[in-house]
Structure 1
């Protein structure tokens, strides 16, 4: 079975076992099941998995961000194309999470449950927005990493990446080492995610045993809201961006992007979809390769609209579930962090979940709440990856059109809408990251 099937199976079994324990009354306070099963075995396995996810946060953000910046190869390559791409990617991500929070708050998902974490937890007040902005720049980057202060780590990683580029060829060995470490972190993500089915079973079984069918109903609401906002972003927001900033026909775009979306949905990996996205935007949409070869891998690194939507909805859901009041400042902090964190979110299955723990920690939400989200994360992961790669293609078209690098005759050619007769054959492993894609350009520095 694939990992997705295993996780779904673990989720279903966890729900069934947890509800059975809840309905039968076996989880009564002080009972054998409560002591040694739900608060014992299930709690231990689930908590170990949560700790493993937290373990990856700092090195994953640090190495992937440095690689992304260094992979540009030469700061001059950024130019107009780099600036426009970055601006549009950040803008679409900000719109995505803002709409997610507004809709989730408006619908009130998770309200009235007042769940409590099994671990000791006291919600701290969200810091003032001015303090958040000031603390982005760390006085001690090593201490920031030790304390898990992610905004500071993101700032330091970007600045270090730019500095390594400015050093030139002498920094090549350091960059190569960081690329190897980044690759190792990706493998570590794969190893830990392989344990997800068992953790999902334990986390959901414990949650259902303690909270019952009411929680199950709330999880269904979470999936519907998160999925609905993603579809809204895909079919409305992105297409409005495409029409307004490029004047291209959105219907033609949706017809030609189907192959990319299907592949992204099936692999749950933006990186693995890079070859398909690149081929589609160049051969079927008419984007010049000089633009696409930059915007597509760059987007796979920093454009995480779907992930940002999940983070926004999940934050509102868990805050309401645990009775934590975030307020306007808290939600603005979540928007800012999600936009910045999208730069460091790896384009591999499950990495967005690691970023979610960072957002939770920053605004004072219990990390145990991730266990509830984890049960349905793999289902949403496929959809949000399709949203991510669609955003990559939209921004590629907008930038290419603005720079006169788009062949509109190719874009409007209806004969190029259909799939390849022979299909698309690509490596199912995560594609080369942005740093390797641009390594040739760097060597010429």
Structure 2
């Protein structure tokens, strides 16, 4: 009798990504009439459906998890210290990442070796400002929902979106109020706990689809963008990916080892979330998988329920530290503008604080324009880099997700809220 062999979950994801790469290259090699466009369209539909399923869970899962964490933290004496410690480690890791970005941008000087045409230097449509941070903290409604309308030839299109930072603010307020009212809030907290258990079960079902989703998302990236656009900005792309590699491959393992944590176990458990972040290019879409990884790592659930969603909106070493640092130097070098030591310090300050200022907004372009504006550099310089932004965004988001798990793990270990399961196979997704 032959027994069926079940691949470990991470191996299934790798197989899915390999299939996606093949389908992506196949779509680019075929003429549209010969099936290339049909393959690309199919990859987009499946990839969008998978990301849509994850995003559907974000609002209810974040809300119920944070309300539950507030209820659980009422019995924790050092709750305030946990929040402060989390923010301190956010700043420490961001400062290290931006220092690496500044060093690479100075040594490699990607702006002096760019083959990009000056005609592509256009002011981006989306820019960031510190006022956006204050606006992002104030909920527009209890669900943190927003709407934007775009005018096109076919008419106006309205798109709904949600601001996770606002959802966190609302959930913290409601959770704190439910705790303060005592017995009157007990039924609500019990209902919230039940809802959280239901959403976690649905999450497990969606996570099981990750190999299929990964295949579609990586295939879509190859079919849509390929790698040809890297040639003109090869030095810049290399500098960014070297920086990302140093952070996730050297800095993070060093911080784990210093705090007595297993590097191998951390990355084995975090890998599904990191992979999904790479292919989906969205920390928010990856958030449910990141939360599941945090629980499997052994982070106390009451702390993880708060720290991981908060990190997903404000902890972005890839998008808000390495990338804007190298990009700002690129723009200055490309336009022949000299930067002084105070400018380097300003880049570091903006990068450490700026991820919070751009929480809930779209993409690293917002963070880059915020940095350029603060330094007084031409905003048109951001337009030079847009051609390869999707390719860079894959690596940036993977590093973001890794950092969003690293800091809660380190803080939990230092605060005695870390208890890894004795017998745990991080490769298997629970049914």
For residue 170 of structure 2, the aligned residue among 136, 156, 169 is: 156
- Identify if the C-alpha distance between structure 1 residues 145 and 123 changes in structure 2 by more than 3 Å, giving closer, same or farther: same
Please give the alpha-carbon distance, in whole angstroms, between the structure 1 residues aligned to 2:90 and 2:252: 12
SS of residue matched to 1:140: coil
Choose 143-152 or 8-17, whichever is displaced more.
8-17
Equivalent residue, structure 1, for 2:185: 168
Structure 1 residues 191 and 276: CA distance shift in structure 2, 3 A: closer
What is the distance in 1 between the residues matched to 2:117 and 2:50? 22
Q: Which residue is equivalent to 1:309?
A: 317
Q: Could you tell me how far 1:94 is from its partner in structure 2?
A: 3.2
Tell me: CA distance 1:188–1:311, structure 2 relative to 1, closer, same or farther (3 Å).
farther
Indicate which of 213, 225, 232 corresponds to 1:195: 213
TM-score, normalising length: structure 2: 0.58
Alpha carbons of structure 1 residues 87 and 424: separation in structure 2 relative to 1, 3 Å: same
The answer for the alignment partner of 1:261 in structure 2 is 266
- Give structure 1 stretches of 5+ with no counterpart: 22-31, 240-249, 282-291, 342-355, 407-418, 433-445
CA contact (8 A) 2:17 2:218 kept: yes
* Structure 1 position 137, deviation (Å): 0.4
- Of 356, 368, 377, which residue of structure 2 is paired with 1:336? 356
For residue 92 of structure 1, give the secondary structure of its aligned residue in structure 2: helix
Deviates more, 1:132-141 or 1:50-59: 50-59
1:5 to 7, 15, 18: 15
Q: Do residues 398 (structure 1) and 414 (structure 2) align?
A: yes
Q: Partner of 1:229 in structure 2?
A: 247
Q: Distance in 2 between matches of 1:333 and 1:76?
A: 27
CA pair 398-311 structure 1, distance change in 2 beyond 3 A: same
Alignment of 1:245-260 (within 5 A): 250=258, 253-254=259-260, 257-258=262-263, 260=265
Following the alignment from structure 2 to structure 1, what is the Cα–Cα distance between the partners of residues 177 and 217? 40
Contact 2:304 2:408 in 1 (8 A): yes
Instruction: Give the whole-Å Cα distance in 2 for the aligned partners of 1:377 and 1:301.
Output: 18
Q: Tell which deviates more after alignment, 327-336 or 204-213.
A: 327-336
> Are the aligned partners of 2:61 and 2:200 in contact in 1 as well (CA < 8 Å)?
yes
C-alpha distance in structure 1 between counterparts of 2:205 and 2:193, whole Å: 18
Q: Secondary structure at the match of 1:4?
A: helix
**Could you tell me whether the CA contact under 8 Å between 2:20 and 2:219 is conserved in 1?**
yes
Determine the structure 2 residue equivalent to 1:74.
71
8 Å CA contact 2:315, 2:355 repeated in 1: no
What CA distance in whole angstroms lies between the structure 1 residues aligned with 2:136 and 2:309? 25
What is the distance in 1 between the residues matched to 2:393 and 2:18? 10
The residue number in structure 1 matching 2:222 is 204
Q: Supply the distance in 1 between the matched residues of 2:264 and 2:72 (Cα, whole angstroms).
A: 33
Runs of at least 5 residues in structure 2 that lack an aligned partner in the other structure: 1-10, 149-160, 274-288, 336-345, 370-381
Determine the C-alpha separation between the residues in 1 that align with 2:312 and 2:61: 14
Counterpart of 1:136?
137
SS of aligned partner of 2:78: helix
Contact 1:67 1:179 in 2 (8 A): no
Contact 1:64 1:182 (C-alpha < 8 Å) held by counterparts: yes
Question: Cα distance, 1:43 vs. partner?
Answer: 5.8
Specify the SS of the correspondent of 1:72: helix
Q: 1:64 to 1:102 in 2, by over 3 A?
A: farther
TM normalised by structure 1 equals 0.57
- The answer as to whether partners of 1:67 and 1:182 remain within 8 angstroms in 2 is no
Deviations 1:118-141 (A, max 9, x none): xxx972353431343144203434
- Deviation for aligned residue 1:57: 7.5
- Contact residue 230 and residue 384 of structure 1 kept, 8 A: no
Aligned to 1:349: none
Q: 1:276-331, CA deviations, whole angstroms, 9 ceiling, x for partnerless residues?
A: 744xx9xxxxxxxxxx67556765665569972233368549978x9899x96985
Residues 33 and 304 of structure 1, relative CA distance in 2, 3 Å threshold: same
Could you list the per-position Cα deviations for residues 322-371 of structure 1 after superposition, in whole angstroms to 9, with x for gaps in the alignment?
9899x969857741157x67xxxxxxxxxxxxxx9566678789999674
Identify if the C-alpha distance between structure 1 residues 96 and 3 changes in structure 2 by more than 3 Å, giving closer, same or farther. Answer: same
Q: Name the residue aligned to 1:63.
A: 60
CA RMSD of superposed structures (Å): 5.4
2:202 maps to which residue?
A: 184
